[in-house]
Amino acid sequence: MARVLLNIPRSARPGEVVTIRTLIQHGMETGYRPGADGEVLPRDILRRFTATYDGAEVFAAELSPAIAANPFLSFALVATRTAPLVLRWQGDNGFDQTETREITVAP
Amino acid sequence: MIAPRRLLLAAPALLLLPRGADASAEAMAEAVRGFTDGAEVRPGRVAMDISPLVENGNAVPLSVIVDSPMTEADHVRAIAVFNERNPQPHVITVRLGPRSGRAILATHIRLATSQNLLAVAQLSDGSFWSDRAQVVVTLAACVEG
């Protein structure tokens, strides 16, 4: 399991726009860089990120080798009701990691 | 007699340089066409925030904000960022909607060299808007190793 840093508000008022910040530990090997032996290292990147909240996909990203190592992504969403926010990263070599955080919504 | 010979030697290089630059700009235009499906892209409504002078191309903070009320009737469907001179023209494509509340995206990107970046946003009415940025990179992202 790769380490993740998440900045998600634990609670919000209904209708409030909250900012989500995510960072995951991953080398994002581009596939263009030679290693110590001079051979080009094979590509190993995260290709897809999705955020699902309150039964719907609220944000999705397609990543490329131009994204820096340890991909940082920040986006916004409307807090509608108390529900889990499911973050999922998928990538090369079968990488698949899911993190879930509850957002409590109360007036 | 040296001067004409030097000119002769320089001539192929002069021919090659602009052609190389055109090829990468063309690759970016092709990638943009892939995103827009050939629709017209107008400048405006999109604000790309990136430092004009970057010391380290390995991790460059980039954010894109689109001027939109983000309602069911009028929202941003997708934002894509393209570059001119990395090995691949595509940087990132994100999909969002009225549930986002605010059309904002922030990430860290790699830049192989000084170049132009283009952010394109697709709105719910099907129109495309864009913003350009020119970035000077002093230490490139390690493409060579």
Question: Is B92's CB within 8 Å of A33's CB?
Answer: no
Nearest to B88 among A58, A62, A64 (CB): A64
Q: Which backbone phi and psi does B78 adopt, to 5 degrees?
A: -155, 150
According to the model, what pLDDT value does residue A64 have? 95
Of B86, B90, B87, which Cα lies nearest the Cα of B120? Answer: B90
CB A83 within 8 A of CB A54: yes
According to the model, what pLDDT value does residue A89 have? 97
Residue B16 touches chain A, beta carbons under 8 Å: no
According to the model, what pLDDT value does residue A35 have? 87
How would DSSP label each residue in A50-99?
EEEETTEEEEEEEE-TTBPSS-EEEEEEE--SSEEEEEEEEEGGGEEEEE
State the CATH class of domain B22-139. mainly beta
Nearest to B92 among A67, A74, A80 (CB): A67
Report domain extents, chain B. 22-139
According to the model, what pLDDT value does residue B24 have? 84
Tens-digit pLDDT profile for residues A55-90 = 899 999 999 999 999 999 999 999 999 999 999 999
ipTM: 0.92
For domain A4-32+41-105, the CATH superfamily is Immunoglobulins (2.60.40.10)
As given in the structure block, the two tokens for residue A54 are 């309150």
CA angle B105–B83–A19, rounded 5-degree value: 5
Burial class of residue B127 in the structure, from the number of CB atoms within 10 Å of its CB (0-12 exposed, 13-18 middle, 19+ buried): middle
Report domain extents, chain A. 4-32+41-105
Nearest to A72 among B86, B100, B107 (CB): B107
According to the model, what pLDDT value does residue B14 have? 42
Q: What is chain B's pLDDT, residue by residue, as a tens digit (145 residues)? A: 445 555 444 444 444 444 444 558 899 999 999 999 999 999 999 999 999 999 999 999 999 999 999 999 999 999 999 999 999 999 999 999 999 999 999 999 999 999 999 999 999 999 999 999 999 999 887 665 5
According to the model, what pLDDT value does residue B143 have? 63
Give chain B's length.
145
Of B61, B63, B18, B55, which Cα lies nearest the Cα of B136? Answer: B55
As given in the structure block, the two tokens for residue B62 are 């980039």
According to the model, what pLDDT value does residue B42 have? 95
Tens-digit pLDDT profile for residues A9-59 = 999 999 999 999 999 999 999 998 888 898 999 999 999 999 999 889 999
Give the 3-state secondary structure of residue A47.
Answer: strand
